[in-house]
């Protein structure tokens, strides 16, 4: 199967684990699917090519939907583009004329289109405004707002929690000291501050700024809360037999997805206030989902060789039952 490549200014975006996503989703004629992270349209295009079905492409980044207009010329009414958050799937699907759908797919990685645009501020590979908002038209605080206004303790907490950075306190202290001289408004300056606080180890293969940038991006876009709310919404929006397919890229996301699926399959007790109530532990009667496998699916060796972005990816799938789960 050919993998879609969507051109950007710098590098092509290659849809991660595309074959595995299609195998899990099982597109069929007459069915309707939602692509909660439309991005370059890779998953949506592959699904539409696989069967005479419809896809609701959702993205909070309007620039992704503008690019999607070219695909809409090809697939016409079979592709419905919606601006919004994937946590709003129930409303967006209903507005599209499909209050219940047959599949919901999420690729939780940041689009390479966003990373490659210096003005978006997602990456320290290019110096640009310290923004990181997926929806630049919203009123959410930017990464610059956070690093320049939050106190040292709160900065250290998010860098440790969402970046899993063991030097979080030292980094937060250096940020606070640096902003006393001048506000931190550029990605390059923030990266230099972090690198100075955490000298790169010969054993560490990633840039010292990576974890801090990840933490800020997650907080700016409320990514963990969005994920939990989207998973909860899948209970009500998926038809019996509908499939929830999620590709995650780091342990924090995968833990949320794994716990949700196991909880909604009646295997464990609820762990988050965002998630629906489920049956008692060990009681699978009335469960909202069944799991084809309790284990995650990982990229093939071939994909890892051809697409470095896939190196930390893992896929999980759950199938909606005829009943069960309460929102």
Tens of pLDDT, residues 64-94: 888 899 999 999 999 999 999 999 999 999 9
Burial, 294: exposed, middle or buried (Cβ in 10 Å; 0-12, 13-18, 19+)? exposed
Q: If you search the block for the tokens 């620039």, which residue do you land on?
A: 63
296 touches 316 (CB < 8 A): yes
Instruction: Identify the structural domains of the chain with CATH numbers, from first to last.
Output: 5-109+223-320 (3.40.50.150), 120-220 (1.10.150.170)
Question: Which residues, in sequence order, are CB contacts of 145 under 8 Å at separation 6+?
Answer: none
* C-alpha closest to that of 53 among 83, 75, 71, 23: 75
Residue 108, strand partner residues: none
pLDDT (0 to 100) of residue 34: 98
pLDDT (0 to 100) of residue 38: 94
* C-alpha closest to that of 214 among 169, 176, 251, 256: 251
318 touches 265 (CB < 8 A): yes
Written as six digits, the tokens of 44 are 């949506």
pLDDT (0 to 100) of residue 246: 98
In the chain, the N- to C-terminal Cα span, in Å, equals: 38
Written as six digits, the tokens of 162 are 């969402």
pLDDT (0 to 100) of residue 310: 86
Written as six digits, the tokens of 287 are 């469960």
pLDDT (0 to 100) of residue 135: 76
pLDDT (0 to 100) of residue 284: 52
Which parts of the chain fold into alpha helices (H)?
A: 18-25, 42-50, 62-75, 89-95, 112-115, 143-149, 152-163, 168-181, 187-197, 210-220, 223-237, 251-264, 301-306
Residue 289, strand partner residues: 320
Residue 317, strand partner residues: 245
**Residues of the chain scoring pLDDT < 70:** 1-13, 110-124, 138, 200-204, 269-285, 323-327
Burial, 66: exposed, middle or buried (Cβ in 10 Å; 0-12, 13-18, 19+)? exposed
235 touches 203 (CB < 8 A): no
Cα within 13 Å of Cα(253), Cβ side: 25
- Pairing mode, strands 238-248 and 101-107: parallel
How far is residue 34's CA from residue 205's CA, in Å, rounded to a whole number? 36
Phi, psi of 13 (to 5 degrees): -95, 120
Enclosing H/E stretch for 34: strand 32-35
């Amino acid at each position: 199967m050919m993998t879609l490549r969507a051109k950007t200014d710098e590098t092509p975006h290659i849809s991660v684990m595309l074959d595995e996503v299609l195998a899990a989703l099982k597109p069929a004629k007459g069915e309707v699917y939602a692509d909660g992270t439309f991005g370059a349209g890779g998953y949506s295009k592959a699904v539409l090519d696989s069967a005479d079905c419809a896809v609701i492409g959702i993205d909070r980044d309007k620039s992704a939907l503008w690019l999607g207009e070219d695909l809409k010329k090809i697939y016409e009414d079979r592709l419905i583009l919606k601006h919004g958050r994937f946590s709003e799937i129930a409303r967006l699907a209903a507005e599209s004329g499909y209050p219940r759908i047959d599949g919901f797919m999420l690729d939780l990685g940041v689009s390479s289109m966003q990373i490659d645009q210096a003005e978006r501020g997602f990456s320290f590979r290019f110096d640009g405004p310290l923004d990181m908002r997926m929806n630049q038209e919203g009123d959410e605080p930017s990464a610059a707002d956070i690093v320049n206004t939050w106190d040292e303790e709160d900065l250290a907490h998010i860098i440790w929690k969402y970046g899993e950075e063991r030097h979080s306190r030292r980094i937060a202290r250096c940020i606070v000291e640096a902003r006393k001289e001048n506000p931190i408004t550029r990605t390059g300056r923030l990266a230099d501050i972090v690198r100075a606080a955490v000298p790169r180890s010969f054993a560490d293969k990633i840039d010292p700024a990576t974890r801090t940038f990840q933490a800020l991006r997650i907080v700016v876009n409320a990514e963990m809360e969005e994920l939990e709310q989207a998973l909860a919404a899948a209970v009500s929006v998926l038809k019996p037999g509908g499939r929830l397919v999620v590709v995650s890229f780091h342990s924090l996301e995968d833990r949320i997805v794994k716990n949700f699926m196991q909880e909604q399959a009646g295997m464990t007790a609820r762990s988050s206030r965002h998630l629906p109530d489920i049956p008692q532990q060990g009681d699978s009667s009335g469960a909202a989902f069944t799991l084809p496998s309790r284990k995650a699916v990982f990229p093939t060796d071939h994909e890892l060789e051809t697409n470095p972005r896939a190196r930390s990816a893992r896929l999980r799938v759950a199938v909606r039952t005829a009943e069960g789960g309460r929102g």
